Amino acid sequence: MSEIGQISIERQGDVIIATLAGEIDPSNARTLGTELHDATPNDAMALVLDLADVQYLDSSGVQLLFELAERLAARQQRLAVAVPPDAPARRVLEIVALDVTAPVANSREEALERLGL
């Protein structure tokens, strides 16, 4: 079993890049959402979430992503998600059609391109 929700944050110009790893479930989704929101200052244009190392993403994690996109949009910021096609979280994001709300890309670089940044 993988570890419960690890997070690391870095800034690349006007974009915050957050790398999540492990499991995102009811035990940590709310806390991770708050950390991600707080890690995105008002002067950032966007947040890129790298989910390549997320081994498990349940409905609370999906809700986290949709709520985060909504909160960022209210601050005129954007969300993009980077997750390789073979990553466990990718199928979940395809099922819930997250790409209607936020771009879903195969890599961080592609996510930045999709944001136009």
In a domain, 48, yes or no: yes
Q: pLDDT at position 26, please?
A: 93
Q: What residues make up the domain containing 85? A: 6-115
Q: How many structural domains compose the chain?
A: 1
In a domain, 100, yes or no: yes
Task: Give percent of the chain with pLDDT exceeding 90.
Answer: 89
Q: pLDDT at position 4, please?
A: 66
pLDDT class of 2 with cuts at 50, 70, 90: very low
In a domain, 1, yes or no: no
In a domain, 37, yes or no: yes
Q: pLDDT at position 1, please?
A: 34
In a domain, 10, yes or no: yes
CATH number of the domain within which 82 lies: 3.30.750.24
> What residue has token string 């999906």?
62
Q: pLDDT at position 116, please?
A: 86
Q: For the segment 47-86, what is each residue's pLDDT rounded down to a tens digit?
A: 999 999 999 999 999 999 999 999 999 999 999 999 999 9
**C-alpha distance from residue 30 to each of 26, 47, 49, 64, 69 (Å):** 7, 17, 16, 7, 14
pLDDT at residue 3 above 70?
Answer: no
In a domain, 11, yes or no: yes
- Averaged pLDDT score across all residues of the chain: 92
